[in-house]
Amino acid sequence: MNILFMTMLILEDIKIHNIYSDLMQEFIENGHHPYIVTPRERKMGEKTELLKFEKYSLLKVQIGNINNVSFIEKGISTVTLSGNFYRAIRKYFGNIKFDLILYSTPPITLAKPIEKLKKYFGCKTYLMLKDIFPQNAVDLGMFSKTSLVYKYFRRVEKNLYAISDRIGCMSPANVDYILKHNPEIDPGIVELCPNSIKVMDMRIGQAEREAIRKKYKLPLDKKVFIYGGNLGKPQGIPFLIECLNSQLNNLDTYFLIVGEGTEFGKLKAFFKQKQPKNMKLMRRLPKEEYDCIVAACDVGMIFLDYQFTIPNFPSRLLSYMQAGVPVLACTDRHTDIGQIIIEGALGWWCESNDKEKFVNIIKQICNTSLDKYREHILKYTKKYYDIKVSYRAIESLWSDY
């Protein structure tokens, strides 16, 4: 089968280990040919380009700037990228007979080109729902439900659901949310399609663990907590700073923050002012380097703003889990990631406006041996978050007909 896959993740090839590259490789291993469409931001200074490989094709489409730009510029680029994608697909893939169009949110603005392409190619469509917009923007106070901006994007969102033959959600709470807030959707087309990866055992031995910690000047005698990923408004950075501030004098802990985003400056200012002895702030690292550091740490952290009413489910959970690292999640109460972490014995959870509970959990972790988590977490990941789980969900779309 020929698969047309559209993503906003910037891909140079599919060798890098992530939820989308691993999925494309799984399609290839099952005898399919993916045609991948990925963005190329204008600030990179490179035009639209088609790269052909033996088992897949990669179309890099020039769009406006999306990352680390103003909200207005990002909004304009998001609205206009649908036309860029559509024109490039028709130009470079117009003579291909596609059997499936696969796409993920964000953004929802791909709805119109997907609708046209579905009709043009006469194929099935599958939405991997990774983000619920525009409600997430309302939660963060970017605009209100009474605004014209919200009403416009809500119509686009509903159209996206309407043109999708199947909607795959990251967690049970996502399934429930979509059906509750969009009663016109047939429940039979909404299913669980979790964030998943080709699970690799990223655990390391004691000698390698010590070598990595020495390389990055991380203490050998403390519990090292790591947060890695985006540092933007969705992550609730003010609460993260509160949590860090509460641990300035905790000599049993060390906190490593690795990432970039619109709120990075707030963290940088905190580190400059406090000059913490038991903390380090680093810019985003190459994925392989970052994964090595994760494996050398004791606990991975996840932060989400407490104001969210939509059930986010960050994929960074998987980088911790395949390293056998337990997780401390500080989130809103609408996501079920905390429930899954607790019920799966994967770590700890607190609401992301409860600093006192965060402090108590840190104390608990400092008095707990974490060795028991490593084997269990890896087994759990292989059972519930292996890439084959997502592939089988998507495959059922055409096997059911």
Neighbours of 345 (CB within 10 A): 12
d(CA 319, CA 321): 6
pLDDT for the residue numbered 68: 67
Res 400: pLDDT:
61
Residue 126, amino acid: Y
CA distance 74 to 66: 5
The per-residue pLDDT for range 148-178, each reduced to its tens digit, is 999 999 999 999 999 999 999 999 999 999 9
- CA distances for 101 relative to 85, 162, 164, 165, 290, angstroms: 13, 14, 9, 10, 32
Place of tokens 């390389």: 215
How many residues appear in the chain?
A: 401
- pLDDT for 44 equals 78
Q: Which residue's entry shows tokens 């994007």? A: 153
Which residues fall within 8 angstroms of residue 202, CB to CB, at 6 or more apart? Answer: 291, 294, 295, 322, 323, 324
Residues 126 and 166: beta-carbon distance below 8 Å: yes
- What residues does 39 pair with on adjacent strands? 61
Q: Spell out, as residue ranges, where the chain has pLDDT lower than 70.
A: 68-69, 71, 399-401
State the pairing for strand pair 57-63/49-52. antiparallel
Closest to 24 (Cα-Cα) out of 39, 6, 8 = 6
Beta bridge partners of residue 192, listed in sequence order:
169
CA atoms of 204 and 382, how far apart (whole Å):
17
What is the per-residue pLDDT for 97? 92
- Closest by CA to 184, choosing from 167, 198, 208, 205, is 167
275-326: pLDDT as tens digits: 999 999 999 888 889 999 999 999 999 999 999 999 999 999 999 999 999 9
What is the amino acid identity at position 366? C
Q: Any idea what the Cα angle at residue 354 is, between residues 349 and 356, rounded to 5°?
A: 95
> How far, rounded to the nearest angstrom, does the alpha carbon of residue 156 sit from its chain's CA centroid?
22
pLDDT at position 45 is: 78
Q: Is 384 helix (H, G, I), strand (E, B) or coil?
A: helix
What are the φ/ψ torsions at residue 83 (nearest 5 degrees)? -65, -40
pLDDT for position 287:
86
